[in-house]
């Protein structure tokens, strides 16, 4: 007898480990008919999941998370939403978390991507299939230039190219995913403060260095890191990103085909048009 499968035939039941932001809820809504199980991560999950079966667990309660997922019948899980790097000394870890701690600490010293891979590996060893947001809801991922939105990006090609190059170089060093360039000048690169924090810094720069609502200049590029665990941590933009770019006076946003997530696509499209911004989709680097 074959095992029962979910609606897609890909899993019996999907579990979503929900951090902050809109992505976990958007994924849950996309699979509502399959009754996904939501693990709300304490201190991060910040949306209303009352329409779904849920549990709330602390980041350090690895054993508790695994037990809850297995009790709910989940055989596949999707990590979604933002979770900042924790203070390991302050985490209240259960037995399973403490057993994983040496490996996690060693990985953390190598960078965020190594840390993510160590956590993902722990869940895979428990028999879970790890699926990316693109598997759960494929239309989140821009596939090529046809997914561009907003106003005409003409005149901003040089800043787009340089911002993409800088973002990729920063990603190769496992520093961050984003960079902002205006008139060939690198205004900011993303580090631990995240994209929104970086854009706030840009908005605080002197007006002559950046654009304005009347004369938009500069491009935000968000590129996946070369060693990125793409099932867990793809660059993501949404309505909040567009509004932050608007406040910073930027002209637009560049994303990589197949290497980014666009949330709230229709709201993003409307905001881009209202503010006179663009989103362009660039090809991945060759080789």
Q: What is the Cα–Cα distance from 272 to 266, expressed in whole angstroms?
A: 10
Q: What is the pLDDT of residue 125?
A: 87
CATH number at residue 197: 3.40.140.80
Query: Residue 30's domain is classified under what CATH number?
Result: 3.40.50.20
Which residue, 113, 136, 159, sits at the end of a domain?
Answer: 136
Q: Are residues 120 and 164 in the same domain?
A: no
Q: Residue 132 burial (CB < 10 Å; 0-12/13-18/19+)?
A: buried
* Domain shared by 161 and 273, yes or no: yes
Is 163 within 8 Å of 219 (Cβ atoms)? yes
| Residue 77 CB coordination number (10 Å) | 27
* Within-domain flag for 2: no
pTM for the structure as a whole: 0.78
Co-location of 173 and 76 in the same domain: no
pLDDT at 6: 40
Residue 94 sits in the same domain as residue 152: no
CB 162 within 8 A of CB 183: no
- Residue 159 is assigned to a structural domain of this protein: yes
Residues in the chain, pLDDT under 50? 1-8, 107, 110
Nearest in space to 283 (alpha carbons), one of 249, 258, 253, 246: 258
Same-domain status, 145 and 132: no
Sign of CA dihedral 232, 235, 241, 242: negative
Indicate whether 165 and 89 sit together in one domain.
no
Clarify whether residues 132 and 154 are in a common domain.
no
Q: Note the pLDDT of residue 4.
A: 35
102-157: per-residue pLDDT in tens? 555 554 554 555 566 677 888 888 899 999 888 899 889 998 999 999 999 999 99
162 and 242 assigned to the same domain: yes
Q: What is the structure's pLDDT at 5? A: 35
Of 136, 156, 178, which closes a domain? 136
Q: Are 102 and 159 found together in one domain?
A: no
């Amino acid at each position: 007898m074959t095992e029962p499968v979910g609606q897609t035939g890909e899993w019996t039941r999907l579990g979503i480990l929900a951090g902050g932001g809109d992505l976990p809820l958007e994924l849950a809504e996309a699979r509502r008919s399959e009754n996904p199980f939501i693990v709300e991560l304490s201190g991060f999950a910040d949306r209303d999941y009352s329409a779904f079966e849920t549990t709330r667990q602390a980041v350090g309660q690895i054993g508790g998370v695994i037990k809850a997922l297995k009790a709910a019948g989940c055989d596949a899980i999707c990590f979604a939403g933002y979770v900042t790097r924790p203070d390991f000394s302050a985490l209240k870890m259960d037995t399973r978390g403490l057993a994983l701690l040496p490996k996690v600490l060693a990985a953390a010293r190598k960078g965020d991507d190594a840390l993510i891979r160590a956590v993902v590996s722990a869940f895979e060893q428990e028999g879970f299939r790890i699926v990316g947001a693109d598997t759960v809801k494929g239309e989140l991922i821009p596939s090529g230039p046809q997914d561009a939105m907003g106003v005409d990006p003409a005149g901003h090609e040089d800043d787009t190219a340089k911002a993409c190059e800088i973002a990729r170089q920063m990603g190769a060093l496992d520093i961050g995913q984003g960079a902002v360039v205006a008139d060939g000048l690198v205004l900011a690169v993303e580090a631990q403060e995240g994209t929104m924090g970086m854009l706030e810094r840009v908005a605080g720069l002197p007006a002559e260095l950046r654009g304005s609502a009347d004369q938009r200049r500069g491009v935000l590029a968000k590129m996946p890191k070369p060693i990125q665990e793409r099932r867990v941590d793809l660059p993501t933009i949404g309505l909040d990103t567009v509004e932050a770019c608007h406040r910073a006076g930027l002209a637009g946003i560049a994303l990589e085909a197949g290497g980014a997530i666009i949330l709230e696509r229709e709201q993003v499209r409307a905001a881009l048009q209202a503010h006179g911004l663009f989103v362009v989709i660039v090809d991945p680097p060759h080789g």
